[in-house]
Structure formats: structure tokens, C-alpha cells
Amino acid sequence: MWIRERRTLRILEVNDAAIAMYGYTRDEFLALRVTDISAAGRRSAGGETAPRSGRRTRQADGLARHRRKNGHELDVEVTSRPLTYEGRDAVLVAVRDVTFERALDERFRHYSLRDSRTGLGNRSQLVLDSAALQRAWQQPVALLMIEIHGLRTVNVELGRDAGDEVIIAVGSTLRILFGEEAPLFHLAGQTFAAFVEGDEAQARQHANRVLSAMRQPYVAAGTEAFVSAHVGIAIGEPGWDAGELLRLADAAVQSAKVSGSRVAVFNTDPHVLRHVLRSRGFTLESALLHAVQENQLRTVYQPILDVAAGTIAGVEALVRWQHPQVGLLLPGEFIPHAERAGVIFDIDSWVLSESCRQIAAWRTAGITPRPVSVNLSARDLDGALDIADHIRRELERYGVDASLLAVELTETTALHNREAVERLLDDLRAMGVAVALDDFGTGYSMLDRIRDLRVDRIKIDRTFIRRALNGGGPLVTAVITMAHDLHLEVVAEGVERDEELAMLRAHGCDFAQGYLIGEPMPADDRRLWADRMSRRKGSRKR
Ligand code: C2E
Ligand code: MG
Ligand code: MG
């Protein structure tokens, strides 16, 4: 503490703590004015404080920076009170050293909210700022995520410092591009993000400006360094959440990278959603559930030929997802996700119901229904829900004979969850629903192990058929023979060529399925019922 004269700023009295803190002797102190202690230029009235932060803590006047006798600077918090000292107009000043606290605080703020190289706000800062932005902006908000490429090359060829130089330069370029006050962030090593006000068209304009700016070379380690960028855009919905927007924009960037386009917008570019689906997207589960509830699923049917008779013996129901934005999705693109997300049961029970409904509809239309084969997943057998029970109810509901329904299980499914599979097979057998072992040859292919499984037929995977004419023939015929020994019917999958069918016929294969006979098609396609196979090659599509 000290007492200073109000008018002259001279120090009139000082306590021992101040002497210890500043390093002046008492006599030296009493020869000083407070301006001599201040670390920075001209002082505000009184000299002890500079209203640097405007923040007043503990009724203090403010924070200031002072200098000790040895030149070291101190951050101090200053409190003052007027008083009369020895008849003079004076001020009592209390000073507290907050250097350590301030340094810690600064560092904490810096490291927790800023990127140390570019000085731009980081992901936490983005989340903090977004709430305020959302309140302030009336228009839609777009988040641009900018991923820089080529830094690895710079790091390897010119060194890490050069890489950092480039990152800093990219940061300043973006700063100039978006404006000093714009909400611009540096999320991670090579990823930047900016909020812009406006719709998709405006966001795309911003993205294009970023891309052309990135075409200019940077100077690092004294030479030119080139980088490029991909931009992912997510448009905020009312009440958007910054975390969600970040994930959407991130998905858009990733999809821009794989699709080869430089800019992608989440929700409007089909490939973005496709990408999300492929990469275990966060919205996937709800999107898939939505698909079931909103009637976005379709079934197509692929004819199965009775090889000896040349007639269509049945069809396989194959699911499709007709997404309103993305378009048609094939099972390979979403079934694995549905299995992980736990919605496969919903999908498969929908396909089962739909197939039963279709059988009844064919019958009503005067068409003799062929048996419909429906695929089940291993996951259908894991949960508490009973798929056999569902099948029983749906057959009843549509008045469909059990002989008109069959299920397909892959070999891996059948051997994996043995107990549940056996229970299912018993139930189906009791009902009269046939069972086929799908994709035979891709799993363990152990005929002896499936012997004890009471299945009715096996479907030889198309990879076997593909090789049949290139030295793989004996394997296919061996499988047919062994299956027949076990009283199993054999379906050859993926039959695409006349020669394949001829070979299968020669070896007594019971059924054939594949593009040669017909591709998966809608329920009203006449070719599903053509009694004699008409083989016009031009009409096939993959
Ligand atoms: P899968 O059961 O083995 O079905 C046969 C797949 O082979 C179908 O593909 C079909 O379009 C395709 N295919 C048919 N003929 C040919 C051909 O001549 N050449 C070639 N290259 N391919 C042919 P899709 O429809 O994409 O289905 C793929 C897989 O997805 C199915 O294989 C099945 O395992 C699964 N899947 C389809 N629908 C469902 C469903 O409703 N539920 C479940 N759990 N899985 C399903
Ligand atoms: Mg199948
Ligand atoms: Mg198959």
C-alpha cells in the first residue's frame, strides 16, 4: 500500500509489503511518483491503473501493469480510496500482485479457446460463439468447414516450421477473405471453419472464394508452397446446434474429398448423404427408422428359374431404399449400417409383411403366386423380438399359405448363432416355411456342419458361378452332388451367361437366379411370371 498526493502523484508513504514487492527502499520510494512505477506510456489519472480490461473485480479500480526496480513487470489489481494525509489531499492505494493468476488465466483462455499458431478461435470457441451468433443473425446460418491439403508434403519437404508458416498464412488469408470481425475458427491442424450468414447459394460463393484464394502459392522456408482445399457446407436449421452443424459440415468435407468435387453441401448433395451412410453416420439410425416409418423402402423381386422345366419357380424379395434426396440405395449401402444401428429387425419385418401383402395382391390380380424368398440377417435373431412369430402373424393376416414363403439365411449367420438358428428353423419347419442357406461358399462352406441344420436348399454364391467356366467347374459340380446327397436343393446365384446355365443344367442344378434369367424388378413386371424363359439379351441391365 502507499499514499500519494492527489495533485502531484508523489508517494508520501509506503508500507513494508510494497517495499518488498517493488524492490525500492523506503527512501527511494518516497522520491518517486506513481508514474515512475507504471510500466506503460502515459497513465490515466492517478497512474496506478490503466483500464485495460474494463473488468472490475472485488471493487478494484482495475488492473494495471507496474514495473519493479529491477525492470520486471507485474500485473496488479489496484484499489484506491481518497483520504487526507497530514493535511494534504491524498489517495490511499492498495495494490495486489496478480501476475501469476493473470498469466494462468491468459494461458488457459489461450490454450482452451485459441489455436496457438493462427490465434484463431478453436472448436470450443466456435461452440461458445455460435449461441450468440444464432441470437444475433436473422438469416439462415451456414457453416463452412475448410480442409487444407498439401501440408503433409510441405512438412516432409520443407520441414515442420515451414508447415506451420503455411498454416499461419492460410489463417491470415482466410481472415482477410472473411473479414476481421467474421466468426472464423481454426479447428485442428489443417481444418478451418467459418460461419456465414445466408442461404446455400451465398455459402457456395464464399466457398468458391476460399478455393480460388488457396490456388495462390504461399511462401514458406523461402520457397513457394502449394496447398489446396475442400469445403464442406452445412446449413443451419432454426434452433440448430453447433455440434450437429460441425458434424454435418465435416461429413460434407469428407464427401467432397471422396467424390472429387471441391465443395459439398450437406443435405442437398446426394453423395454427401451417401457418404454419411457409408461412414457410420450419426443420423443414420434415425434416417433408417424414418425410412421404415415414412414408407421409403421398396421391394423388388428377382425371378428364380427351375432349370429342368424352364419355368419361373419363385422369386427373391430384395429391399431397396428410395431416399427422397439421395435416390435409390442398394442393400449393400445400408443393410450393414442397419444391422449396427439395430434397425435391421424393423426393415426385415417390413420386407416380410410387404412380401405377404404382395402375394395376396398377385392372387387377387389372378396371377398364380410363386413362392417368395426373403432375406434375414443374423441380427434378427439376436434380440428379444421373435421373427418367427412375426412371420406367423403376417401369413395369417394376408391369408397366405406358408408354402409361398421362404427365408434365406447366410451360411455365416446359420453357423454363428447356432442356438437361435435352430429354434428358428424348428419354428419355420413347424409352420411349413422353407429355408435356404444363402451365399454358400463365401463362409465356412462346411457341408458336414450344415448337415445337422434342417435347411431345404443352398444357394451357391455367384463368385463360384463366375469361376465355373474358368476351371471352377469341378467345385460347382461337387457342391451340387454333395448337396443332393444331403437331400438339399441347389440354387445357383448370379447366372449371367448361357454357357453357365448350360453347365448347371448338365450337372443337375435345380434352380438358377441371375441377370440372364432376370434382374430384380418391380412386382408388376410380367417377366416374373413368364412361363417360358424369354432370353433377349438387350433387355438386361446390371
Ligand atoms: P443376396 O440375397 O445374395 O441377393 C442376391 C444379390 O445378387 C442381389 O443384390 C441381386 O441383385 C444380385 N444379383 C442377382 N443376379 C445377379 C447377377 O447375375 N450378377 C450379379 N453380379 N449380381 C446379381 P442386392 O439386391 O444388391 O442385395 C445384396 C444383398 O443384400 C443380398 O444378397 C442380401 O444378402 C442382402 N439383402 C437384400 N435384401 C435384404 C433384406 O430385405 N433383408 C436383409 N437382411 N438383407 C437383404
Ligand atoms: Mg438372398
Ligand atoms: Mg446370395
- Shortest-distance ligand to the CA of residue 332: 1
Residues 125 and 90 occupy one common structural domain: no
Same domain, yes or no: 226 and 352 = no
- CATH code at position 186: 3.30.70.270
pTM, two decimal places: 0.56
* Nearest-atom index, ligand 1, CA of 338: 44
- Could you give the CA distance from residue 126 to residue 140 in angstroms, rounded to a whole number? 17
Distance 255 CA to ligand 3 centre (A): 30
Q: Give the closest ligand to the alpha carbon of residue 494.
A: 1
Note whether residue 329 is domain-resident: no
What pLDDT, on the 0 to 100 scale, is given for residue 523? 95
| Nearest-CA residue for atom 14 of ligand 1 | 514
Question: Are 303 and 273 within one domain?
Answer: no
Q: What angle do CA 200, 206, 208 make, to 5 degrees?
A: 100
Q: How many angstroms does the Cα of residue 158 sit away from the middle of ligand 1?
A: 51
Q: Nearest ligand, CA of residue 439? A: 3
Residue 485 lies in a domain: yes
Give the CATH number, domain containing residue 431: 3.20.20.450
- What is the pLDDT at residue 31? 94
Of 207, 275, 219, 213, nearest to 247 by C-alpha is 275
* Nearest atom of ligand 1 to the alpha carbon of 516: 18
pLDDT the model gives residue 338 = 83
**Residue 458 resides in a domain:** yes
| Residue 540 within a domain | no
| Residue where a domain terminates, one of 78, 103, 128 | 103
Ligand 2 centroid, distance to 284 Cα (angstroms): 24
Do residues 88 and 148 share a domain? no
Q: Are residues 36 and 183 in the same domain?
A: no
Distance CA 405, CA 456 (A): 13
Q: Is 348 in the pocket of ligand 1 (CB under 6 A)?
A: yes
Q: Which candidate, 542, 459, 534, 453, places its Cα nearest to that of 504?
A: 459
Instruction: Identify the CATH number of the domain in which residue 68 sits.
Output: 3.30.450.20
**Ligand 3 centre from 486 Cα, in Å?**
20
CA atoms within 13 Å, Cβ hemisphere of 109: 5
The residue segments making up the domain with residue 463 are: 299-319+342-529
Q: Determine whether the shortest distance from the Cβ of 408 to ligand 1 is under 6 A.
A: yes
In the block, cell 457418404 appears at 275
Pair type for strands 263-265 and 311-323: unpaired
Do residues 510 and 386 both lie within one domain? yes
CA 330 to centroid of ligand 1, rounded, Å:
9
Q: Is the CB of 330 under 6 A from ligand 1?
A: yes
Same domain membership, residue 506 and residue 365? yes
Whether residue 499 lies inside any domain: the answer is yes
* Tens digit of each residue's pLDDT, the chain (542 residues): 999 999 999 999 998 889 989 999 999 999 999 889 988 643 443 445 544 443 333 345 678 899 999 988 888 888 888 888 889 999 888 888 887 777 666 655 555 677 778 889 888 788 777 777 777 777 778 999 999 999 888 888 888 888 999 999 999 999 999 998 889 999 988 999 999 988 889 999 999 999 999 988 888 888 888 899 999 999 876 666 777 788 888 888 888 887 778 998 886 555 555 555 555 444 565 677 778 888 899 999 999 999 999 999 999 999 998 877 667 888 987 888 788 777 889 899 999 999 999 999 999 999 988 999 999 998 888 777 789 999 999 999 999 999 999 999 987 787 777 888 989 999 999 999 999 999 887 766 566 667 778 899 999 999 889 888 888 888 889 889 988 988 999 999 999 999 999 999 999 999 999 999 999 999 999 888 776 444 444 444 33
Q: Are both 394 and 503 inside the same structural domain?
A: yes
Domain count, the chain: 3
| Domain end (from 69, 103, 137) | 103
* pLDDT given at position 111: 55
**What pLDDT was estimated at residue 452?**
75
Q: Is 351 in the pocket of ligand 1 (CB under 6 A)?
A: yes
Say yes or no: 487 and 359 in one domain.
yes
Considering the domain boundaries, does residue 263 fall inside one? Answer: yes
pLDDT of residue 105: 62
Cα 438 to averaged position of ligand 3 atoms, centre (Å): 5
- Residues 394 and 469 placed together within one structural domain of the fold: yes
- For residue 335, the ligand closest to its alpha carbon is 1
* Shared domain check, 416 and 465: yes
Which of 356, 375, 528 best tests ligand 1's pocket when mutated (most atoms within 8 Å of CB)?
A: 375
CA angle 34, 36, 37 (to 5 degrees): 70
Q: Is 471 in the pocket of ligand 1 (CB under 6 A)?
A: no
- Closest-lying ligand to the alpha carbon of 301? 1
**Does residue 328 sit within a domain?**
no
Residue 110: predicted pLDDT: 53
Same domain, 516 and 456: yes
CB atoms near residue 511 (< 10 Å) = 22
Establish whether residue 515 lines the binding site of ligand 1, counting it when its CB lies within 6 angstroms of any ligand atom: yes
Q: Which residues contact 536 (CB under 8 A, 6 or more apart)?
A: none
* Residue 283 included in any domain: no
CB of 385 closer than 8 Å to CB of 421: no
Does ligand 1 have an atom closer than 6 angstroms to the CB of 354? no
